[in-house]
Amino acid sequence: MNPLSRIPERSGTAFTLRKGQFLVVIDPLGQQVADLVAFNAADTREAISSGRTLDYAERIYLSTGDTLYSNRSQAMLDIVEDSVGRHDFLLTPCSIDTFRHFYPDKPPHRGCFGNLTAALEPYGIQADQIPGAFNCFMNVPVDADTGKLRVLPPLSRAGDHVRFEAGMDLIIGLTACSAYDSNGGTFKPIDYRIE
Ligand SMILES: [Zn+2]
């Protein structure tokens, strides 16, 4: 089994994931979000697509048995295990603009978007290519009548995980999210392992 890798708080990383390999994303301490984006390793114009995925799933809350699709409607990642059952695929990665919008009195941070941009740059992926992320463990309830969104602390507890199976050769970007509300007000690391 491959060793566990750790993404320090408020940072991100990128790596390749081959077709048929598994990616396990673990919340080691609990209540910490991890933003996940995926690109076709053979053509990075193909990327994970919230719109396609939610359209096909006919739901906004995804879990075991659901597939994350690309903008070209190909299966990129299957969720094969999920010990939490609540993730978000509506909201974009937090960014310096997010901090200016929601936290004008706090020091700005480049956020998941800046961390993903830096991590994916060596793979030739530009900032404008970064799609909406699958936000592991992010808890965004939606009011059934008004559609009003709230960002509440994650339901994940220490050691909770999601296991994905790659449907094609992928470049993955993964973060330990930097935003206050998404993570219950504190910033923790994220662990992952490729199997
Ligand atoms: Zn974030």
pLDDT for res 69 = 98
Spell out the domain ranges in the chain: 5-194
Handedness of CA 100, 102, 108, 114 (dihedral sign): negative
Query: 184: which strand partners?
Result: none
Query: 27: which strand partners?
Result: 160
| Distance (Å) from CA 168 to ligand 1 centroid | 26
Please list, in sequence order, all residues whose beta carbon lies within 8 angstroms of the beta carbon of residue 191, skipping any fewer than 6 positions away. 4, 5, 6, 7, 25, 26, 27, 28
Tell me, yes or no, if the pTM score tops 0.95.
yes
Mean per-residue pLDDT pooled into runs of 10, the chain (195 residues) = 93 98 98 98 98 98 98 98 98 96 92 98 98 98 97 98 98 97 96 98
Which uninterrupted H or E stretch holds 100? helix 96-102
Structure tokens at 1: 């089994």
Q: Which residues have beta carbons under 5 A from ligand 1 (an ion)?
A: 94, 112, 177, 179
